[in-house]
Each structure stands twice: as C-alpha cells, then as structure tokens.
Amino acid sequence: MQNRLESLDVLRGIDLFCLVVLEDFVHKLGDAIDASWYQPILNAFTHKTWEGFSPWDLVMPLFMFMAGVTIPFSMEKYRKNKLGDSKPINSLSRKALWKRLSRRFILLWLLGMACQGNLLGLDPNRIYLFSNTLQAIAVGYLFSAIIFLYTSWKTQIGIAVVLLMTFWAAMEFITIGGFGGGSYTPQGNLAEGIDRMVLGRFRDAARVEDGQVIFSSWYTYTWILSSLNFVVTVLSGVLTGELLKSSLRGRKKVWLLLAIGVAMIALGWIWGFVHPVIKHIWTGSMVLVSFGLSMLLMALLYN
C-alpha cells in the first residue's frame, strides 16, 4: 500500500511542478526564443480557448482525480461494515466524521475565495463566491466521500453515469432566459446562464455599473451546473483508488489502468462529436478524456 501512495505523491509533485515552475519557464523561454518550431511546446502549456483539450488542460482535473484516489485509502475504516451496520467501524463517531468533512469543505472553499476572489483584501467589489479550483475540489471531495462511505463501487459507477447524463440532458434540452437548448457557445450555453442568474454580482469578473450587473465576455468558466461533473471527476479517482487497493496483482492493475484509460479517452472523444470536449464548462466528454489521461499517468507511475 505504501508504494501505491508514494506513486500518487510523485504524480502530485509532477502536477505541482508543472503548475508552479514549468509553465512560467516555458512561456518566458518562448518569449526569448520567438521561433515557429517552439509554438507546439507553447500550445501544450496553454489552455484551449474553448473546444478541444491540451496537455495543460489536464492540470486541474488531475488534481481533482488525485483527491479522489486518496479517499479509499484514508476513509475505508469509516465505511459501513459488511453486516450493514450504519455506524463507522472504528471508534470515531459519525458526528466527528461529518465534522471532519465539513471542516475540510469550508476550509477549501474559503481558501479558494482568498486565492482568486481577493477575500483577504476585504474589497466588496472583488469578492466572488465560486471561481476556483479549490472550491471545485471541495464540492467533488465532499460528495464523493459521502458516496464512497455508503455505496459499493458498482453503485458509484451508476451514480457517475447518472450525473454525466444529467449534465448532458440539461445542456441539450433545457432553455432558461435564452441560454441552453443545445448551445455550446461561450455566451449561450446553459451552464453560463445558470451561473449568471444564480451568482449575479458574485460571479467572477462581474462588475456593477449604474446599478446593473455587467458580465465580462472574456470569462467563460462555469461552476454551478458544472459541479455535477466535478463530482464525477473526483469519483473517478475514488474508483481508481479502490482498484489500487484491490487484491489484484500489481501487473494486472497496471494493465487494467491502461485499458480503462485508453477506453475512457476514446469514449470521451467519440462523445465529443455531439457533446463537445470543453474544459471551461466541464462537459461530460471532457471528464472522460481527462479521466482516461489521469489513469494512464497513474499506470506509468504505479509500481
């Protein structure tokens, strides 16, 4: 088990190194080189403007995936036992367990606001409620932990499918205030409309002018409806963690990780023909593509 956790630590370290060091280095080097041959490297470290998926788009879903992988290792002892006892199987009370989950959720949420919403500056014009990766992890982690504690892996797969289909159906068939109805444009999709209507002034990059809320056209990330798929991304890590904890031999686990990873990537791109791969709104096809890539990376580091 220790080796498997070390593999996860290595993957987390690589992701952090890319985020904190490598991206800035690559872009500054690009300014110095200014050559056409370097452009593909720059593109790899740049988010897609809208549709598609670049290697750099994997950073956020990979963090969420890894948060999910830790859940089976850290919370297995709190699950319902095989006899159906609803109490945690160690001495930690259910109340304390919920306190732990709630505290983690609140801490991640506030840190997210501080990092991207200028919460610590106490500037009311710069406080945004839901706009950060840490908050996406908070939502995904909380619900994925609850699902893990009270369901089997088969039920977890079923829940993931239902959430993916719910997001897809909402995007395709619901229209509110001119948003939705199958639109996947930056300014016309349902997830964008819901964020504007619910968050209003507290949506990232929004401002108030003459009593009217003005939404910046350049800001196209969505959070509320997308939370359905945030849960799926973390839950995909939970399922991977359960696979790593299983009694399968190491080599079989690696091959299974590789096979599932390739299958998810293929399925995601195929679904993308009708449900585009768009990280900004966290579409289901993007979830599958990022899940598959995360599993491949996990397989490469697993030993």
What local confidence, expressed as pLDDT, does residue 83 receive? 38
Residues of the chain with pLDDT under 70: 1-5, 80-93, 117-122, 303
CA–chain centroid gap for 135, Å, is 10
> According to the model, what pLDDT value does residue 76 have?
84
Identify the pLDDT of residue 198.
Answer: 96
The pLDDT of residue 24 is: 87
Residue whose C-alpha is closest to residue 69's, from 299, 260, 240, 264 = 240
Reading phi first (left if > 0) and then psi (alpha if -120 to 50, else beta), residue 132 is in beta
